[in-house]
């Protein structure tokens, strides 16, 4: 097929971002080396960009920018307050997963002309309260008109060069960990769908299993939080010996597992690359009630864990020597390890081993 007939939906979000990285070399009028004033550590690809600024020799400037569009990012049940709040959370989460301290937040917002001022105020209050909570002042931005709500946020921070939490750099035998419960936001989205098309029988059934879990899942879907403090703890422990690598789980665990492997492969200097990941189902933090509710909804609970994101938990690897020391500092779960086998696999509770596919959620796909 000729390039001229291909639509962007055939590539999807991640391939398009790869394409932008390629274009930044191929369609540049200068050679990339002409950007001599600032040295960019990782231009695009990690959770946030790290930029070497002449201001200071010890810190990187860290920046992250994310756009959210009502029809694809906000469930119908989400309030204006929650939309504003989430626009800060997604960006702070990217900074947290680099171990960065927050500096400032820029808010670009587009809203329909007939939006009620009260709703606008509520959205802004969501932004402000999230900025307060994560100690990141709102420093700028603009407002525009569109036919649906669009929020584009940019978070700026800084991190010690020696301590920045990259996606790459783990070694065979390192432990694979998550900072908290996965799958709850995913379950929440499913429950919200059910609310929109109610089925009384199913609703009664799942309520009888665990109504607290239901409320919690919906809350996680509508008002997620960034794992800011845990990001800072991991950063403080990130010495050469401990070699911590970190990313935040936004597109589903499976997709992030492939992300960290790809990132590590890119930074690998030798010819052959033989690292892989093994997850143990038995290690996944999951309550029986969670599995039961998923079953009533006709879902495989592992799908909720692996293929839908939005939990904003951190996925990280540590040298196994660090295990106990880190447990004294924060709660986390060890769910697997880095192997010397170039696959991403899960050891199921029944003993069988299955490959994990990379499909997480991608826009435009």
Binders of a copy of itself among 96-125, rule CB under 8 A? 101, 103-104, 106-111, 113-118, 120-121, 124-125
Q: Which residues pair with 288 in a beta bridge?
A: none
Q: How far is the CB of 1 from a copy of itself (least distance, A)?
A: 10
Q: Please check whether residue 210 is in contact with residue 289, taking contact to mean a CB–CB distance below 8 angstroms.
A: yes
Longest dimension (CA), the chain: 65
Using the minimum distance from each CB to a copy of itself, give the nearer residue, 24 or 357: 24
Nearest by Cα to 162 from 94, 234, 92, 240: 240
Q: Is 300 in the site for a copy of itself (CB under 8 A)?
A: no
How many residues lie near a copy of itself (CB under 8 A)?
89
**Closer Cβ to a copy of itself, 157 or 336, answer by number:** 157
Task: Tell me which stretch binds a copy of itself (CB under 8 A): 62-70, 215-223, 333-341, 352-360.
Answer: 62-70
Using rule CB under 8 A, residue 348 touches a copy of itself? no
CB closer to a copy of itself out of 111 and 184: 111
- Judge whether 222 and 82 are in contact, CB under 8 Å: yes
Cβ density class 13-26: b for 16+ within 10 Å, e for less: ebeeeeeeeeeeee
Tokens 């420093």, residue located: 139
- For residue 87, the minimal CB distance to a copy of itself (Å) is 11
- Is residue 263 involved in binding a copy of itself (CB under 8 A)? no
Task: Based on the shown chain and the rule CB under 8 A, indicate whether residue 147 belongs to the binding site for a copy of itself.
Answer: yes
* Residue 232 CB, nearest approach to a copy of itself (Å): 13
- Residues between 150 and 169 that touch a copy of itself (CB under 8 A): 150, 152, 154, 156, 158
What is the DSSP pairing of strand 344-347 with strand 276-280? parallel
Give dist(CA 43, CA 50) in Å, integer. Answer: 7
Give the one residue of 33, 37, 212, 324 binding a copy of itself; rule: CB under 8 A: 37
Q: Which is nearer to a copy of itself, 107 or 326 (CB)?
A: 107
Minimum distance from residue 163 beta carbon to a copy of itself (Å): 15
Shortest distance, position 349 Cβ to a copy of itself, whole Å: 36
CB of 10 to a copy of itself, least distance (A): 8
Closest by CA position to 105, among listed 83, 69, 129: 129
Please work out, in degrees rounded to the nearest 5, the angle formed at the alpha carbon of residue 262 by the alpha carbons of 327 and 181.
35
d(CA 237, CA 118): 45
CB 249 within 8 A of CB 182: yes
The answer to whether 30 contacts a copy of itself (rule: CB under 8 A) is: yes
Instruction: Report if residue 67 touches a copy of itself, rule: CB under 8 A.
Output: yes
CA atoms within 13 A on the CB side of 230: 25
- Binder of a copy of itself out of 33, 145, 288, 351 (CB under 8 A): 145
Q: Which of 61, 214, 284, 304 binds a copy of itself (CB under 8 A)?
A: 61
Provide the minimum distance between the beta carbon of 273 and a copy of itself in the complex, in angstroms, as a whole number.
25
Sheet with 333-339: strands ordered across? 245-248, 314-318, 175-178, 333-339, 276-280, 344-347, 353-355
Q: Name the segment binding a copy of itself (CB under 8 A); options: 6-14, 171-179, 212-220, 251-259.
A: 6-14
Other CB atoms within 10 A of residue 352 CB: 9
């Amino acid at each position: 097929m000729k390039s001229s007939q291909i639509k962007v939906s055939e590539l999807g979000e991640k391939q398009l971002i790869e394409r932008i990285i390629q274009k930044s070399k191929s369609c540049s009028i200068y050679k990339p080396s002409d950007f001599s004033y600032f040295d960019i550590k990782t231009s695009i690809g990690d959770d946030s960009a790290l930029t070497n600024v002449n201001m200071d020799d010890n810190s990187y400037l860290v920046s992250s920018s994310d756009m959210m569009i009502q029809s694809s990012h906000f469930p119908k049940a989400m309030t204006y307050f929650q939309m504003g709040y989430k626009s800060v959370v997604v960006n702070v989460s990217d900074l947290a997963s680099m171990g960065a301290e927050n500096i400032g937040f820029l808010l670009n917002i587009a809203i329909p002309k007939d939006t009620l001022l009260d709703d606008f105020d509520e959205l802004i209050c969501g932004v402000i309260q999230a900025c307060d909570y994560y100690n990141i002042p709102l420093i700028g931005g603009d407002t525009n008109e569109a036919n649906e709500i669009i929020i584009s946020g940019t978070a700026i921070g800084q991190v010690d060069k020696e301590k920045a939490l990259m996606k790459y750099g783990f070694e065979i035998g390192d432990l694979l960990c998550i900072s908290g419960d996965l799958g709850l936001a995913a379950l929440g989205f499913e429950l919200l769908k059910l609310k929109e098309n109610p089925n009384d029988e199913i609703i009664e059934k799942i309520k009888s299993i665990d109504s607290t879990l239901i409320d919690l899942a919906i809350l996680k879907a509508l008002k997620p939080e960034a794992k800011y403090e845990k990001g800072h703890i991991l950063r403080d422990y990130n010495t050469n010996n401990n070699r911590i690598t970190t990313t935040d789980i936004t597109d589903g665990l499976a997709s992030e597992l492939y992300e960290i492997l790809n990132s590590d492969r890119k930074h690998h200097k030798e010819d052959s690359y033989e690292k892989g990941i093994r997850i143990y189902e038995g290690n996944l933090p999951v309550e029986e009630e969670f599995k039961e509710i998923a079953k009533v909804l006709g879902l495989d609970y592992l799908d909720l864990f692996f293929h839908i994101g939005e939990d904003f938990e951190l996925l990280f690897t540590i040298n196994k020597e660090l295990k106990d020391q880190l447990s004294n500092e924060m709660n986390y779960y060890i769910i697997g390890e880095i192997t010397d086998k170039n696959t991403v696999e899960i050891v199921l509770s029944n003993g069988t081993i299955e490959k994990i596919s990379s499909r997480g959620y991608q826009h435009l796909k």
